Amino acid sequence: MYYIGIDLGGTNIAAGIVDEDGQIIYKESIPTQKKRNQQEIMEDMAKLSQRLLEEAGIKLQDLQSIGVGSPGSPDLKEGIIIYNNNLGFRNAPIRKVIQKQIPVPVYLNNDANCAALAEGLLGAAGGVKYSVTITLGTGIGGGIILNNEIYSGFNNAGAELGHMVILSDGRECTCGRKGCWEAYASATALIELAQEAASKNHDSLLFTLVNGELTQITAKTPFDAVKQGDPIANKVVQEYIGYLAEGVSNIINIFQPEILVVGGGVSKQGDYLLNLLQERVNQEIYSKEEIPKTKLRTALLGNDAGIIGAALLGFAPKQLSRLVKKDKKP
């Protein structure tokens, strides 16, 4: 049997067909065009799923289920997204719309939870029962895996890790609060830090690497500059790592996961990022004595994590247990 996983994002709708081993055998993506109404976006998810089946040559009777990972707060029982700030969804009946075109079971969950499930079973945290995955992108997504299952609170709205406050009355967040972690440690926040520094230091590589076009600065730019010895970029990166470490340390102190996975675009800095982060986290975590400590790792599945995790929503518990990858990394 096969499963479809749909990763609904603000920029793209990515979907793939996943086999019983949790491997993607075919995938496609289309622009979300998020300014459209929610009905059109939901219908596009159904149409994309139909096209996947046709392109991969898979019959409907061989499709077990469809899983959808979406930003926002899902109602798992009713199959709706109650609220989604980025896309403007309000009580969006995703299950009903998809099943109208493809009559199979449809499961929903938060997109960060789906990514955490995939990394927890098949990715960087494979083989451990307790893990947390954070994604550093436009905002900060978070997913918590306890005993190989998604934890999202009694109302399925938990694990909004990006919205823990790390600085009282700090920067305003898109959620309306002030001082949220994602306002300081998302990729967006890093870009803003770098742009501000570049605007004040035209002799810095932060400025010259983009030929003075500050809108061309990405989350990669400050790391490129600091690796070339730029002191201004180094200040930016160190400030950013400090903010990132505040939130990571809080998560470790609360949950004590065996592995904390860092995903999203910033995580592409790999060991360079992790080494800087680990040094700061070691100073902040409560458990400083010689007891087992949380390992930091970068995500392994990349952009496929959301697709795979969404597809896994339709797997039975025994199937999920069979998938768990043995943890062989030191």
Do 24 and 307 touch, CB atoms closer than 8 A?
yes
Output the pTM of the full model: 0.87
pLDDT at residue 146 in the model? 92
Q: What is the pLDDT at residue 124? A: 95
Q: Is 133 helix (H, G, I), strand (E, B) or coil?
A: strand
- Say if CB 102 and CB 46 are below 8 A apart: yes
Is the separation of the CB atoms in 111 and 70 below 8 Å?
yes
CA distances from 27 to 55, 151, 287 (A): 10, 28, 43
Topology alike, domains 2-111+303-323 and 124-298: yes
Domain coordinates of the chain in residue numbers?
2-111+303-323, 124-298
Blockwise average pLDDT, block size 10, the chain, 330 residues: 94 95 96 92 97 96 97 92 86 97 96 94 92 91 91 89 95 92 96 97 97 96 97 98 98 96 93 96 84 93 94 90 61
pLDDT of residue 291: 84
Q: Which CATH number fits domain 2-111+303-323: 3.30.420.40, 3.40.50.12280, 3.40.50.620, 1.10.10.10?
A: 3.30.420.40
Identify whether the C-beta of residue 73 lies closer than 8 Å to the C-beta of residue 175. Answer: no
Q: Provide the token pair at 120.
A: 């927890």
pLDDT confidence of residue 328: 45
pLDDT at 325: 60
Q: Exposed/middle/buried for 119, CB within 10 Å: 0-12, 13-18, 19+?
A: buried
CATH superfamily for 124-298 is ATPase, nucleotide binding domain (3.30.420.40)
CA atoms within 13 A on the CB side of 261: 32
132 contacts 296 by C-beta, under 8 angstroms: no
Q: In the sheet that 2-8 helps form, which strands lie side by side, from edge to edge?
A: 24-31, 12-18, 2-8, 63-70, 106-110
Q: How far is CA 188 from CA 93, 96, 174, 207, 305, in A?
A: 30, 34, 12, 17, 21
pLDDT of residue 301: 94
